[in-house]
Structure 1
């Protein structure tokens, strides 16, 4: 299973080099549904992929389904409204939990500096992190219920128009030498992937960046600390395809994270300690190891709030040490 995660392609295009590194011949299937109404503006993408692209057009296929399948259209509209309501409650609870966590971090740091003792924090930070994780888990469980309600209201397997599109998509993937997932709006991309039940064979090489890289993971986390409305807390948005395990993908990390704020970075790393928080900045190219792990040199957030490279020697270490991958 060959999978390559790239940094954003707007300012530094590396997808063509990644494709050539795979050494495959034949057509390349592309999913750029995240571009939404710009999905057919593919001149630059075609050039990067050397004219080998076959575009699956999942965004346009989605609207074809909505126009022709009234049952699914009604169920999708209801799902959207309920999901918006759930997100509103989740963000409210998350903000309060994160505010409390940061307050505990500040208080315990000050206490440790004064007391210089090992018990100054009394595990308060770990407990506050667990509170945030509980809110994340609550949201994920409620979202799972919403998906179950959507499936019950409009079973995808009973729709003739969806089945027709799925048949076409499966035929293209079966005849492709590789799959490319581009960036854009990750929510739109995830909905399209789910609607058409995209299952990427392990034998099919995949190249992905930005939203596409996020969609390959098990858990899609949204983040932006320099947004137009100020810093917003990272939120667990949805499930991904799960091809890339043990990774929280962070595209545009330098532009969207306050990497100089060690408290915030440490909190993110501690919140997602079951995975590596991987920075995918311009020029990044990470080919996963044969067992699906991250390669040496991948830049990750550490629980100390600093950026580390996998496989690099620890500070003060006499010799390099291997770092295992999280399950």
Structure 2
């Protein structure tokens, strides 16, 4: 992003016919700067949310908010455009999403979201619930041996639905401060069933005890994101065991010819991932507001 920028940006909600502007911005920025937005498909047909953007000369989109059911993806190629977009949202009193929980989640690469948040944190009527930095790592050379001989990983089956339902619910309650097992149990169950049916839900084990759940999320034909990682309380201090599960995840047949990225919810998971041959790559951010 440019250090100085005196360009005037017009900020407004985008029309449905302007979706190609969003897709164009996504293609211009580095792939992994728009990773979660790409995974969510927020730049493609079928996205059911809406867009608010900062445009240069009302033609070139320099920053955008993709406002969907599960959060607001923030992306920009210029710091000044991101700040202008945030200033416009502050004047509008920001993110009129509605909904029963009145909870709003901002997601994005910290380079984009950080610039936006510097301004938007001044919005009135919103209470900050959480502000997390999330390390993004990429798979480097696989170690010769697993960090732990006690760990293994499997692709979840339908018989493990209850386990996945509970542990992924724990993760959501911890990371998003909303427990889907209480707020939307039917939808949460359906989401778990769909992930298992697609062969994308992983379970890490120590013998017959679950030590980790994680989800494989395709980014493109060549890249997979290892995401939504949750480690039960009893295993949080067992970094070598968690690293061993992630090591075996990398060895799964479906990932053999893929570039693998890993989004860690916190530094402890990132440290365990480094034991499995992942190296730091970028930093993402997750901000939760209520009001």
TM range (shorter): under 0.3
Higher helix share: 1
**Structure with the bigger percentage of strand:** 2
- Normalising to structure 2: TM-score of the pair? 0.25
Please report the TM-score for the alignment, with normalisation by the length of structure 1.
Answer: 0.23
